[in-house]
Amino acid sequence: MIRNSFGHRLPFFKLSIGVLLAGSLLSGCQTVPTNVSYNTLPPPPAVGSLTSEPTVAVAPPVTPPSFPAVPAILPKPKILGPLYPGIIPIASSMREPWIRVRITQESATPPYINPHFYRGTVSIVHLADGKYAAINSLPIESYLAGVLSRELYGSWLPATYRAQAIAARTYALYQIVTFGRTHAWDVTGGQNSQVYGGKNAETPRAWNAVRATTGDIMETRNSQEMGLFCAFYSACNGGASQSAAEAWGDPSVPPLVNRLFGTLDANCPEFTWPTMTLSLSQITQAVTWWGQKNDLPYLAELGPIRFVRITQRNAVTHRPMIITLTDVAGHVGKMRAEEFRLALALDPMRNVPAPPSSFFRIQPDGNNIELIDGHGFGHGIGLSQWGAQTLARRGWRARSILQTYYPHSWIHKEW
């Protein structure tokens, strides 16, 4: 406290020092103007002089990439070949065609084949991808003689052989006028076409059936056209057939329809087959490979699969049609039941159990699923070979057998 010589306080000095300190803190050591009043507040600034708050840029939320959508109509898998018309118009008569059979797998080096085991000619073809394959070219009737005994048991009845000969000839001719137009061969010698064994597979019963039905093929008609169709067949349908359209997306054809057959092919060892267990990891492996192989991103990009369900069945036969798979992230993929079977059977790791058919029920079991109530062997489209043998034992002729399995069709002698 400052005092004068009389001992009195000097208040104005205190005020001046306070003002000087305040001015130093607020104005950076500038001189405080003498005309500033400390008893009134300054007027508010004009509205135009107000400055807005600085804008803070907000980053948009990160959206994870969308999972590929499942198309409303599932495409035909590329591995099963192009999508051809269901009915192919052909001439009313033709000369017996030659068929080209690929009798070896594609290989990096030219394969050696003993030509004496085959009729016709055998040639080594250098393919566009640099690989090689052996091709046997021969008349279609000679080809069928090497097919029948590989597709049927040797003890089966002549009527079964004749029905099989007409179905196999129809199938082969369809492949010649479709697939063969743009490829180095018409069919393969394995199960993905028709099993063919060359001259070593020929038997008197096979040749008798071929000669008895020479030139006979099946034709059909829909509302727009008439002609040849692909006469699929399998070992055993398990009591109910399925259509090629439901199996893998081929066009709908009148003879290839869904039908109930009861126990007609119950003599087949795989008419019913035991419960099969598959792990979810095995299914993930097979299904994602199938998606990659066929350019199906809604399957290829699935993570570890958590649920496998049958979500659509045929209303008449109750065979599964659509299987829905859900991964651990909730992503959903769908595939036809027959595709599901093929994905398991063709998995390149060869460590996934393959069900004999796509006619089953699914039961979850922790990290596994069980395929229960399995019926049939093969795709179950068209003729059942075991069912044809049952009808032949009942005295049915080949034409009646074929009309049973291929309704809305007739037999035409083409050459």
395-415 confidence digits (pLDDT tens): 999 999 999 999 999 999 999
Claim to verify: residue 97 and residue 219 sit in the same structural domain: yes
Average pLDDT, integer, range 52-71:
71
Structure tokens at 373: 């109530």
Whether 240 maps to a domain, the answer reads: no
Comparing 378 with 40, the larger pLDDT belongs to 378
Q: Are residues 365 and 390 in the same domain?
A: no
Contact 168, 162 (CB under 8 A): no
Of residues 266 and 27, the one with the higher pLDDT is: 266
Do both 110 and 153 map to the same domain?
yes
Band the pLDDT of 61: cuts 50, 70, 90: low
Average pLDDT over residues 121-126: 96
* pLDDT over 70 (residue 21): no
The order of strands in the sheet holding 216-221 is 226-228, 216-221, 409-413
Tens of pLDDT, residue by residue over 301-323, are 999 999 999 999 999 999 999 99
| Residue 161 lies inside a defined structural domain of this protein | yes
Q: Tell me whether residue 194 is in a domain.
A: yes
The domain total for the chain is: 2
Residues 220 and 277 grouped into a single domain: no
| Predicted local confidence at residue 355, as pLDDT | 97
Once rounded to an integer, what is the mean pLDDT over residues 216-222? 97
Range of the domain at 286: 272-375
**Tell me, what's the pLDDT at 30?**
39
Is residue 178 over pLDDT 60?
yes
Lowest average pLDDT, out of 40-54, 118-132, 281-295, goes to 40-54
**Over residues 367-382, mean pLDDT:** 98
pLDDT in tens, 337-358: 999 999 999 999 989 999 999 9
Go through 98-120 and write b for each residue having 16 or more CB atoms within 10 A of its CB, e for each that does not: ebbbbbbeeeeeeeebeeeebbb
Pair 387, 336 in one domain: no
Q: What percent of the chain has pLDDT over 70?
A: 84
Distance between CA atoms of 170 and 172, rounded to whole angstroms?
Answer: 5
Residues 398 and 323 in one domain: no
pLDDT of 135 > 90? The answer is yes
Same domain for 222 and 123: yes
Mean pLDDT throughout 368-378? 98
The β-bridge relationship of strands 187-188 and 359-365 is unpaired
CB 301 within 8 A of CB 331: yes
Q: Do 115 and 177 lie in a common domain?
A: yes
286, 407: one domain:
no
Whole-number pLDDT of residue 62: 60
The answer to whether position 156 is within a domain reads yes
Q: pLDDT at residue 17 above 50?
A: no
Residues 359 and 306 both lie in one domain: yes
User: What is the pLDDT at residue 92?
Assistant: 86
pLDDT band at 57 (very low <50, low <70, confident <90, very high): low
**Is 197 a domain residue?**
yes
Note whether residue 342 is domain-resident: yes
Q: Pick the residue with more confidence: 100 or 22?
A: 100
Give the pLDDT of residue 291: 98
Query: Does some domain include residue 67?
Result: no
Q: Which one of 10-14, 51-55, 346-350 scores highest in mean pLDDT?
A: 346-350
| pLDDT of 12 | 38
Distance CA 366, CA 247 (A): 29
pLDDT for position 20: 31
Mean pLDDT, range 172-177, rounded to an integer: 98
Query: Do 277 and 367 belong together in one domain?
Result: yes
- What rounded mean pLDDT belongs to the chain? 89
Q: Quick one: 305 and 190 in the same domain?
A: no
Residue 22 has pLDDT above 70, yes or no: no
Kindly give, in sequence order, each residue whose CB lies less than 8 Å from that of residue 223, ignoring residues fewer than 6 positions away.
none
Q: Which residue in the block uniquely carries the two structure tokens 């069945």?
A: 313
Q: Which residues pair with 99 in a beta bridge?
A: 138
Residue 335 lies in a domain: yes
Q: For residue 59, what pLDDT is reported?
A: 66
Mean pLDDT of 117-130: 96
Q: How far apart are CA 147 and CA 222, in angstroms?
A: 30
